[in-house]
Structure 1
Amino acid sequence: MFWVLFLLLAWAGVLIASARLLRAAGETAEPVAGPAAAPHHDGLSLYEAAYLAGGPQRVAELTLLSMQRERRLLLAHTGWATVLDPVGRDPHERSVLGAFGPDGQEEVLAIRSAVERDPAVRDLADRLGEAGLALGQGSVREIGEGIRSVRRATLLVLGMTVAALCVPAPGTTTTMILCWFALPLILCAGCLAIARVEGHAHSTWASPAGRRLLVELGRERGGQGSLTAVALRGLRAVTDPEVRAALACGNRGRIPRQRGY
């Protein structure tokens, strides 16, 4: 029955990882403000909605798309952007323009990275956090660490299963061992499945109060193709395939410099 020790190790790893994930999820689910203090979704700017729905990257994508629609930027489907109007109207637009080189051209990936790190985004996050609409960076990290812990626990269970099968166990069948180890594996799979569903249903950047505002905003002004829809759903809401390719192209690595715009 030496294999039981491996089973106990597997259960210990799974329970610790699951508890960590549940604790992180429970902290983010706690209400941070009473109904009287809850703001209305009309008070959200598009930048604020974008941050709550998708974090700094969504803010960068929204800024680029907004400037492109106003014909102040040219976005090529190959992943390069060209400045048409060098005057920024707000801090986020100025961070976009500040990422361009002297020739007025730059990769979308580099621009997006610069905007995500800009102090304007940090100020935006601080304001939303103080209003109780955004999760703190610590909460986001805790959720991510909890999910990674469950994944490591899954690998631990699999490893312990292999080890148990390699140990002679008189009177114990392989099927029995596999059934016992299937229980912690099912718990890990359930935790990961719930985390995945919740991650798709809710932003990991918004608090419960922030999520409610996003739902209300989507119901009233989330029509497909609008800037509000892009703020809420990201590139999936961009109807122009060339613009969508331009904003997503940087994720596929370096691309050749554009010439002759």
Structure 2
Amino acid sequence: MNIVITGANRGLGYELTLAAVQRGHEVIAGNRSPQEEGNLLELASRFPGQIKTVQLDVCDEESIARLAETLRAGNQTVDAVINNAGILLGRGVALEELPIQDVVRSFEVNLFGPMMLIKHLLPLMEEGSSRAILNISSEAGSMSNAYGGDFPYAISKTAINMFSKQLKKYVKNRGIRVYAIHPGWIKTDMGGEKAPGDPAESANGIIDILEMKKEIDLESFFVNYKGEPMPM
């Protein structure tokens, strides 16, 4: 598989890239700033020919369009997209003191970015159930479990869930699978040191979903990294 992964330089994105190349896939690893590649460059040297690092800012549509044009010029198709890049702003901030710019920025990264990426990469995806679009979401985006906090993050994740459901319907006739995936509360820069989950375990579960190793109900679109349905 040729997989595009955003935010691939650290956290879950790095673990997803590692899990994918360990299983023999090729990864186009998107990273907002080439100067911050670090571990990603080392990983690319360990798996020569399997990882192509690209500068990709999901908030910059021109950056996304350049990637699509480069792939098109090289007659490359995309088998899967993992929209992993995300941002967590305004954690624990009361609504009365919340900077609205944090909400705007959260939607730019957590929703508009994935939408723009799919807008430009969907034409490069062939038909068939082996193709997939995985949008990294969160249990925070569940409306039924809304907890009245983390407004920018939670609302933007609810929005990516809705986009995932719409997209699932949109590409149904092409056979492309679409899921919003809760990766669990994992120990990353975003999740924090108190998180109980292992990002490597989560990443491998997500790649299992990509490889169709999990039995998932055909109508499900919001699942956890084990492929189990999440409450909406």
Q: Which of these two proteins has the greater Rg computed from alpha carbons?
A: 1
More strand by share: 2
Which one has more relative contact order, counting CA pairs under 8 Å at least 6 apart? 1
With structure 1 as the length reference, what TM-score do the two structures score?
0.26
Higher helix fraction: Structure 1 or Structure 2?
Answer: 1
TM-score (norm 2): 0.28
